[in-house]
Chain A
Amino acid sequence: MIEKKYSKKHEWLEVNGNIATVGITVHAAAQLGDIVFAEVPAVGKSFKKDEAAAVVESVKAASDVYSPLTGDIKESNQAIVSDPSLVNKDPENSGWFFKITIKDQNELKDLMKKSDYEKYATENPN
């Protein structure tokens, strides 16, 4: 099993070769509450690390989903566009947002492992 990595902006990513799958964490999905809208980036679009790449909206508010890495979008999850509640039901699996190429492996070093993220999330709930 591939170990997930976590960002300070409450995204998770799963690295597979030179491609990373990105989504929002269980903690983030719970904080947002009922998710009613998701906007995912177009395939081929490029993002810099920490740039807003997708949008997620709950009943309460709209939030950006940031790209934790610099790269190009390889695929985006249309399933969450048609059924945004999937992000609440299964945020760290079928509720993924996009797959992005990894341009700079060094950027992975800034990310946390699960246990560190869980500690971080309790201290920084939003």
Chain B
Amino acid sequence: MSAANAELKQTSKTSLYEFHKNSGAKLVNFAGYEMPIQYQDGIIQEHTHTRNSIGIFDVSHMGQLKIECSSSIFPYLEKIIPLDFSSIENNQSKYSFLLNDKGGIEDDLIVTKVDTGIKIVLNAACKDNDAKIIKDSIGEGFTAVLRDDLSLIAIQGPKAVDAMEKIFKDISKLNFMFGNYFEYNKKKIFITRSGYTGEDGFEVSIKNEDVQELTQDIMRVSDAKLIGLGARDSLRLEAGLCLYGHDINTNTTPVEGALSWAIPKTKKEKGGFLGDKIILDQIKNKPKKIRVGIKPEGKIIAREGTRIFSKDQKEIGHVTSGGFGPSVNGPIAMGYVDYEQSKEGTKVILKVRENMVHGVVSKLPFYKKNYVKN
């Protein structure tokens, strides 16, 4: 969709819209939704609170696609999503992508296999197009529905598990990247142990009419605070996680995006998905450019679009995400550089305004995560 069309389309609101407003949110248009960028505490406080305690994120703008199906659908899905669906356990989640025929990423997503089929969480800006691609691929035999009756909240941070255990018995037994059904207001809701902040946490898929009550329940049993998209961005950047449309897009492959770890071994060997020739060739012969972490020296922030040069002044790439990392207490960035210049420790120069800022190719994540395995 072009930007002009996006503006013509009326902005949508999540079920927590009024709650955000009453909680002092500053709202911005994000992917066609009026979303909280921050609350009164501000982005740094919200970021730190999530790292030290517990934060609640409204991510209901994201798409929740449910496909009712049996395993007979797997060959169709595996054409566009490079996973080995039969080897995924029941209630297990996997990070993957929707690919195009050039091996480019149409969207990144989380797939969860459940008894009744497949659940997929998609980015807000891409969800309608994603649903179309998926429906076209699986054909008429299966029903795929974007569930706009469901909200999605993420509960993140070291205290998330204790708070959630008070409401959902035995939820602490869930392993990272696994989900299960729990009961709330006598209704079955689906919760996964996952998130996009680099912290332990949960994502709760719940009926629109129940989401505010649950949010308030969590705030009652813990010192959880509402956290806006501003802190979500700095948290995921510190965790080295990609923001679709910035760090990855339709012109970058999973190999270039340094995400080939998400493609299972069987698929890396045999292919069988859209763009497999290009992707397998890049795995074997290395891509021309690749996503890396970059730590600028000093305090100057190298934001998206900043040009990256080698020590000998040759332009080698550009920054795709850059900002201030509150837990790192300094500027951090991710970007694409020539493969030859991508080794950890390689010195680079970032041109920020008139400044030539020294930086170094750094290991991701910038901030060490604490995921749980029981």
Q: Residues of A with Cβ closer than 8 Å to B?
A: 33-34, 36-37, 39, 55, 57, 59-62, 81, 84
Contacts and interface: CB of A to CB of B under 8 A. Distances in A.
Contact of A55 (B42, B324, B353): B353
Given A33-B42, A33-B43, A34-B42, A59 B353 contact: no
Contacts of B299: 36-37, 81, 84
A59 B331 CA distance: 10
A33 B353 contact: no
Query: Which 4 A-B pairs give the minimum distances between C-beta atoms?
Result: A36-B324, A34-B44, A59-B43, A34-B42
A59 B230 contact: yes
A52 to B, nearest CB: 9
B42 A57 contact: no
Interface string B41-73: 011110000000000000000000000000000
Contacts, number: 37
A57 B303 CA distance: 11
Contact of A62 (B45, B230, B301): B301
Contacts of B271: none
B44 A57 contact: no
B32 interface: no
6 contacts: A34-B45, A37-B300, A39-B300, A57-B324, A59-B44, A60-B37
A109 B115 CA distance: 74
Contacts of A36: 44, 299, 301, 324
B42 A37 contact: no
Interface string B183-206: 000000000000000000000000
B123 interface: no
B301 A37 contact: yes
B301 A60 contact: no
Given A36-B324, A55-B353, A62 B43 contact: no
B38 interface: yes
